[in-house]
Chain A
Amino acid sequence: MVDEKILMPALLSLRVAVLAVVLAFIAGVPVARLMAGRDFPGKEVAEAVLTLPLVLPPTVVGFGLLFLFGKHGPLGLLLEKLWGVSVIFNWWGAVVASTVVAFPLLYQTVRASFQSVDRNLENAARTLGAGEWRVFWTISLPLAWPGLVAGTVMAFARALGEFGATLMIAGNIPGRTQTVPLAIYAATESGENRTALVLVGIMTLLSFAFILGVNLLSRCRLKRWTTEGNRPRAEQSP
């Protein structure tokens, strides 16, 4: 009983959120890097499209996803044709919904952190013989790291809490697509307040631990560059 009502949604939520963040990361980082670079025609439009899921009501996103991934939708048909799979009303639908709503948060934060990397550092690397790949991996990416961490944390939190679009595309099927937010809603509706409370507790603790963990991690790394060693930030002596 406990397994079904608490553990299953918790594990499913975790699995969905982790996968969604991984997907959003893989898509978001290159796009963010691209958008942080030079201007091109239509950049503002692209920017608006990429940010849209952040401001749209989740039901609109859900409707859009149903349209795209539905039986007769372009992406739905493609998936069916290529691999014979569908994301509607199974847990992959929850992953798709979470990825789409988490993406703009990750993208926005990562783009801002790429933009804040000093251009001179990238140029210095170029004059030292580094090609664009090496500049990216050795300079831009490590320096944008705190932003990447922050973006990932926010995307994870958003993916974990995704409700509306998930409900529309994956449904609320206990044991299959019922993530924690959906389970909390269902438990509250049917008056199972104890179950709801436990789920709320798990959700809060999980999010808290995750955010605290990555924040500490990125802070350690930043600290190392500036204060390790016995000399403080000294000024102009030879």
Chain B
Amino acid sequence: MLNIEKELPSFRLRVNLRVLNEFLVVVGPSGAGKTTLLQCLAGLQRPEEGEIVLKGRVLYSSTGRVNIPPRLRRVGYVFQDYALFPHLTVEQNAAYGMKNRRNGLEVQEMLEMLQISHLARRYPGQISGGERQRTALARALLAGPELLLLDEPLSALDYETRLKLRGELKTLQRRWGIPFILVTHDLEEAFALGDRVVRLERGEVVWSSSTRKRPDCTIRHG
């Protein structure tokens, strides 16, 4: 599904992964290239070599000279600081990426599922970190992605909220049936969340595990 190379200031990012409908966690120290990896997948950065294929659609291919822009990739991205639009309410944030923006019911259902429907008319500056996280999730999922990327989504939260959201993230992934790729530097979190955990160091996958048996998933080291 993805096989990319990109030169970073002090090393070369070289990743070759196949992701199924699973919760994949990429763990590694700061500066290992985790965020760059996600940004390449979302189209916010451009790899130098390789290819990215999502459900048969070529998103990037250096040999085929394909580089689909982010807006057409259908790759959801939950940013580390959530990147909520501060001038839009929770509801407006959530509905931003919807194809059919008039479908208020769908937004309502999503907000209810994530337990933030009572905050619909609040602005991001008026809600807590956990609530912002849920808003960012609602927004990313309502855009109908075929892959969801999460960049250290829990790192800014306190311990209790983190535990609670971990469970919810797992449930969401099962419910949506699309691959989630989450990056974190926290090993405990990685194993709590991931169906599979891969460790990235200086741009290379140095280790991978399967916390649940999935004989059909393969991983080749780049």
Contacts and interface: CB of A to CB of B under 8 A. Distances in A.
Q: Do A and B come from one complex?
A: yes
Interface of A: 118, 120-121, 123-131, 138-139, 142-143, 224-229, 231-238
A235 B129 contact: yes
A143 B86 contact: yes
A8 B52 CA distance: 68
Interface stretch (B68-76, B104-112, B197-205, B206-214): B68-76
Interface in B34-50: 42-44
- 9 closest A-B pairs by beta carbon, nearest first, are A128-B97, A236-B129, A238-B130, A124-B83, A226-B125, A126-B70, A127-B77, A120-B83, A234-B128
B53 interface: no
B123 A129 contact: no
Contacts of B191: none
B130 A227 contact: no
A231 B131 CA distance: 13
Contact of B123 (A138, A224, A238): A224
A78 B74 CA distance: 50
Interface of B: 42-44, 69-77, 79, 81, 83, 85-87, 96-97, 99, 121-131, 139-140, 143, 156-158, 160-161, 164-165
Contacts of B75: 127
Nearest to B92: A138
Contacts of B69: 126
A123 B85 contact: no
Given A225-B124, A236-B158, A237-B158, 6 more contacts: A124-B83, A126-B71, A127-B70, A225-B123, A228-B126, A238-B130
A138 B96 CA distance: 10
Contact of B161 (A121, A143, A229, A238): A238
A129 B128 contact: no
Given A234-B127, A238-B130, A120 B71 contact: no
Given A127-B44, A129-B97, A225-B86, A237 B73 contact: no
A128 B83 contact: no
Nearest to A238: B130
A229 B89 CA distance: 12
Contact of A227 (B74, B126, B140): B126
Contacts of A224: 123
25 contacts: A118-B83, A120-B83, A121-B83, A123-B70, A124-B85, A127-B43, A127-B140, A128-B71, A128-B96, A129-B74, A129-B99, A130-B71, A131-B71, A139-B85, A143-B85, A224-B123, A226-B126, A227-B125, A232-B126, A234-B126, A234-B128, A235-B128, A235-B129, A236-B128, A238-B131
A125 B95 CA distance: 11
B222 to A, nearest CB: 24
Nearest to A135: B71
Nearest to A230: B126
Contact of A238 (B70, B76, B128): B128
